[in-house]
A and B are shown apart, each in its own frame.
Chain A
Amino acid sequence: MASVISISNVNKIFRAADGLSVTALQDINLEISQGEFISFIGPSGCGKSTLLRVIADLIQASSGTVTVNGKPAAEARKNREYGFVFQNATLYDWRTVIKNVQLPLEIMKYSKEERDARAREMLKLVELQDFAEKYPYQLSGGMQQRVSIARALAFQPKILLMDEPFGALDEMTRERMNNELLSIWARLKDMTVIFVTHSIAEAVYLSSRVVVMSPRPGKISEIIDIDLPRPRGPETRDMDAFFHYTSEVRHALRGTKPVDRSGAVIRDGAIE
């Protein structure tokens, strides 16, 4: 598959006011294919958000390049190819739900009819059509996050970047949101999703590839392909392969893979 996003030799060093510097990203290389669902996982402070922001051209890499279809990330941002979902929903308090979803459409100069039609369609997609005229404070955290997803999808970006979007939700809500997200992604063919998470189960459940990162300096320590069948659903979580992948990611996070897993790999081989 053709790669959409090419990240090559990206470094990001933050210089603090006290003269100390933090290497948030070191030597990041990654190719992301069209229509892929890829997750970044790693402990706090390993540079996941920084990498996402560099990809989205919200901050500049200290060195290295990010290209989207061969063009610089800055151009992709100007062409409005990115939809971004933040960890806190970042809804505008003074706008009703539907007006929040319409925000990007207003800036992108869609006609009033089209703004309204699209926003309603997106709200239906996240099952919030009955809440169109409510203000954000009248919604639960999960509902607010769904509005922000609807807002990110409203202008049909080619690339959806999500920074721990479900991090603040309880486990039940999170699993439901995971299913909704997968079904939306399946419907919007060819949309590439880059998803940042803390949760191993979430990363494995959603992704075609999991990028495991380690901190100080922020690096990619391993990339794990997730070959679980799609469409995925609640039964996916019960599959042996699902457990296999979650433990693989867990070991990659701990950096214990080569020693501890040798036995497990042999046993897996024996069963198959």
Chain B
Amino acid sequence: MTDSAPSRESQLAAVARADRPPADYSGLRTALISLAIVVVLLLFWEGMKAFSAANNYAVTIGGTEIDLTIFNNSQLPHLGDIAASFMEPAQRNGPPLYQTLLDAVSFTLVSAIQGFLIGAGIGFALAVLFAHFGFLSRGLMPFVVASQTVPILAIAPMIVIWFGRAGNSQMAIPVIAAYLTFFPVTIYTLRGLTSVPATAVELMETYAASKLEILVKLRLPNAIPQIFTALKIAATSSVVGAIIGELPSGFQNGLGIAILNFARYYNQSPERLWATIFVAGLVGILFFAFIALVERLVVRWKPKESS
């Protein structure tokens, strides 16, 4: 069983490759470009620090003096120091920082995924309703749009209180995340469901197909590329939403509280906040990349739009 697993996997991979539309290396190229950008940014980071240190944290350009103290070690730590901080305990006699952050990531990620699922589900259901009932779309769409202009920071505490009253305060965090994620799913799915060529619908009518069959066999598959675009946006917003949702929730375990705590001690050890920020960013990127991977496996028919 254990022997056959990898060989079967590689077989599947080979089949998948063989069936793929004419080889496209855009994925590899994108990865290389992203890597190059990261390298340039890191070089810029260390370069500015070195430049500022060499000029005693101030330069004069055209008569105005520019303060460069934000590049000193207590404001912008060396990348090496940030990397090293992962191995040091965040609190005296506590576990190393990476351990603390790993726990925080798993807490936040669970909320983010729950929020993503709730938000995507609600967003999708709204889109299907809006696509079929024009009056619902006209009546409710303004509120859907308005919901996104209200700052989430204002709404989050209310959600926490409501769920606390209902005896399930931990659910408040995914719900706050869902509040951020349902919107793009509604907008993109609705567009995908309704941007169907007229003749494609007429074809279904010549078969005397029902509305449900038209939805399942035409509108939904037509919307899949747009749905994936929405899910990729939703994936990153769900992480942001979960982090924001943790702040008023009273739960101490997530990345949100870790950011808050390390920000308080920024002057003593800025590395920890930076380490946490990098980790939070990485979580969002990985969630995004996971959805993108699923997209590549599912959407195999439109090479023109996949780039």
Identify the A interface with B (CB < 8 A).
Answer: 53, 56, 58, 77-80, 82-84, 86, 88, 90, 92-95, 103-104, 106-108, 135-138, 155
Query: Using Cβ atoms and an 8 Å threshold, which residues of chain B touch A88?
Result: 199
The 8 Å CB contact of B221, one of A79, A90, A92, is A92
Q: How far is the CA of A136 from the CA of B300 in the complex (A)?
A: 11
Q: Are A107's CB and B206's CB within 8 A?
A: no
B207 CB → nearest A CB, Å: 5
Residue B259, interface by CB 8 Å: no
Task: Answer yes or no: B202 CB below 8 A from chain A CBs.
Answer: yes
B153 at the interface (CB under 8 A from A): no
CA–CA, A83 and B202, complex, Å:
11
- CB-defined contacts of A135 to chain B, threshold 8 Å: 21, 300-301
9 pairs of residues in contact across A and B, judged by CB atoms under 8 Å: A77-B206, A86-B199, A86-B203, A92-B200, A92-B217, A107-B204, A135-B301, A137-B21, A155-B207
Q: Could you tell me if A94 and B301 are in contact, using CB atoms closer than 8 angstroms?
A: yes
Which of chain A's residues have a CB closer than 8 A to the CB of B205? 58, 77
Interface contact A90-B207, CB-CB below 8 Å: no
Bound complex: CA A90 to CA B202 (Å): 10
> In the complex, are the beta carbons of A138 and B207 less than 8 A apart?
no
Number of chain B residues close to chain A: CB under 8 A:
24
Query: 1/0 per residue B5-16: CB within 8 Å of A?
Result: 000000000000
CB-nearest residue of chain A to B221? A94
In the A-B complex, the 9 residue pairs with the closest CB atoms: A84-B206, A94-B221, A94-B301, A107-B207, A86-B199, A90-B199, A93-B301, A135-B301, A78-B208
A78 contacts across to B, CB distance below 8 A = 208
- Say which residue of B21, B217, B299, B300 sits within 8 Å of A103 (CB atoms): B217
Q: Which residues of B48-63 have CB atoms within 8 Å of chain A's CB atoms?
A: none
B199: A residues at CB distance < 8 A: 86, 88, 90
User: Is B79 positioned at the interface, with any CB of A under 8 Å from its CB?
Assistant: no
Q: Find out whether the CB atom of A107 lies under 8 angstroms from the CB atom of B213.
A: yes
Contact A90 B304 (CB under 8 A): no
Do B202 and A58 touch across chains, with their CB atoms under 8 A apart?
yes
Inter-subunit contact B302/A107 (CB<8 Å):
no
Docked-complex contact A90 and B206, CB < 8 angstroms? no
Q: Which residues in A have their C-beta under 8 angstroms from that of B303?
A: 137
Chain B interface residues (CB < 8 Å from chain A) = 21, 197, 199-200, 202-209, 213, 217-218, 221-222, 224, 299-304
Evaluate contact between A83 and B206: CB separation under 8 angstroms: yes
Name the residue of chain B whose CB is nearest to the CB of A148.
Answer: B203
Residue of B21, B200, B301 most packed against chain A (CB within 10 A)? B301
Given contacts A86-B199, A86-B203, contact A137 B301 (CB under 8 A): yes
Q: Given the known inter-chain contacts A86-B199, A86-B203, A106-B217, please indicate yes or no for A137 contacting B304, CB distance below 8 A.
A: yes
Contact assessment for B206 and A92 in the assembled complex, using a CB-CB cutoff below 8 Å: no
Residues of chain B within 8 A (CB-CB) of A104 are 207
Bound complex: CA A138 to CA B218 (Å)? 20
In the complex the two chains form, what is the Cα distance from A56 to B206 in whole Å? 7
Q: Do A93 and B302 touch across chains, with their CB atoms under 8 A apart?
A: yes
CA distance A137 to B300 in the complex (A): 11
Chain B residues whose CB sits within 8 angstroms of the CB of A106 once the complex forms: 217
Partner of A90, one of B200, B208, B299, B300: B200
User: Smallest CB-CB separation from B206: which chain A residue?
Assistant: A84
CA distance A227 to B221 in the complex (A): 47
Residues of A within 8 A of B301 (CB): 93-95, 135-137
What separation, in Å, do the CA atoms of A86 and B202 have in the docked complex? 10
Whole-angstrom distance from the CB of A34 to the nearest CB of chain B?
20
Cα A82 to Cα B205 in complex, Å, equals: 10
Closest to B220 in A: A94
Docked pose: A108 CA to B203 CA in angstroms: 13
